[in-house]
Amino acid sequence: MDLVEKALAGDRRALARLLSLVEDDSPQAQEALAVLHPHTGRAHIVGVTGAPGTGKSTLVNELAKRLRARGTTVGIVAVDPTSPFTGGAILGDRVRMRDLAGDPGIFIRSMATRGSLGGLARATGDAVKVLDAVGFQTILVETVGVGQAEVDVARTAHTVVVVEAPGLGDDVQALKAGLLEIADILVVNKADRPGAGQTALALEATLGLGWNNSNAADGWRPPILKTVALDGTGVEAVVEAIDAHRAFLQQSGLWVQKEQERVRADLMQALHREMLDRLIEQVGEAEIDRWVGRIVAREVDVYTAVESLLERPE
């Protein structure tokens, strides 16, 4: 694995090639990840998520600048959506990350979702592992602009920053399940706009309710921080909150627990894919099509078909 050795030695071209192998799900990627695995587990993985247009990319840019100012190396994986119709994608997060150009302590990779629906690409987790293995100390994972239920980032990141902006909805939105529940840090960006105070208050009220029951066991209450990412106002406080959350995870033992949960989810997902691939290979696409036909013709239902497919003799 020449590529892996080069990447571990700091070759950025090799790193970029490795990330492509992982993204394209190539057989070499599995070998590479196996070699890289012992080198992983050192980075602080920070997810940045929120609705489209709340300022995620701009915030990531500002966070990275501040992390670099104190000497932390930063890997960035920025995810944008793939068109469900053409398979193409516009990956535009770099537009907001101009300030980070020319710094060897930073590596930015844009990724298309390629059909994944949880706010990340299938390969995002593996891309993060690659960046972790080659030594980036903090890895910022920016999700696609999400709605309410795309919460995959919570399984990939140690610390999740949820970015909100004023004017996106009333306080009932803040009551709903999903995105807010995965927040370790809440940022109300564009805080120079009208309604920012109200948004923060609505979040505060919701969090107050939640914190009294479900999250109380953790002992971490997500801070609500106001920022204007465009000019950097308030971003230092977000960096401090990210540090504080890391310290909290490590002291409380949750770092290890989260790692175990993450690895379990990872293992389950890999098993799921591998078993499905093997089954399809074994029975053949034609057989699957035959069952689809039978289901459409109302001869059998989906669950009967599954039972039959799984019970086929070797």
DSSP state, 138? E
Q: In the complex with other proteins, which residue's Cβ is closer, 193 or 273?
A: 273
Q: What tokens appear for 128 in the block?
A: 């993060």
Q: In the complex with other proteins, which residue's Cβ is closer, 16 or 256?
A: 16
User: At closest approach, how far in Å is the CB of 67 from other proteins?
Assistant: 17
User: At closest approach, how far in Å is the CB of 129 from other proteins?
Assistant: 17
Distance separating alpha carbons of residues 72 and 138, to the nearest angstrom? 7
Q: In the complex with other proteins, which residue's Cβ is closer, 132 or 184?
A: 132
Q: In the complex with other proteins, which residue's Cβ is closer, 23 or 126?
A: 23
Q: In the complex with other proteins, which residue's Cβ is closer, 85 or 303?
A: 85
User: At closest approach, how far in Å is the CB of 90 from other proteins?
Assistant: 5
Q: In the complex with other proteins, which residue's Cβ is closer, 11 or 240?
A: 11
Q: In the complex with other proteins, which residue's Cβ is closer, 10 or 293?
A: 10
User: At closest approach, how far in Å is the CB of 111 from other proteins?
Assistant: 9
User: At closest approach, how far in Å is the CB of 13 from other proteins?
Assistant: 5
Q: How many CB atoms lie within 10 A of CB 149?
A: 13
Distance separating alpha carbons of residues 44 and 48, to the nearest angstrom? 13
Please give the C-alpha separations between residue 132 and each of 39, 171, 313, in angstroms, as whole numbers: 8, 38, 43
Footprint of other proteins on this chain (CB under 8 A)? 12-13, 16-17, 19-20, 23-24, 82-83, 86-92, 94-95, 98, 101-102, 107-110, 112, 114
DSSP state, 96? G
Q: What tokens appear for 255 in the block?
A: 């770092």
Residues facing residue 74 across a β-bridge? 106, 138
User: At closest approach, how far in Å is the CB of 102 from other proteins?
Assistant: 6
Q: Which residues are CB-neighbours of 309 under 8 A, at least 6 positions away?
A: 279, 283, 287, 288, 291
User: At closest approach, how far in Å is the CB of 65 from other proteins?
Assistant: 16
Distance separating alpha carbons of residues 218 and 9, to the nearest angstrom? 39
Furthest CA-CA distance within the chain: 66
For the four alpha carbons of 306, 310, 313 and 314, in that order, the dihedral sign comes to positive
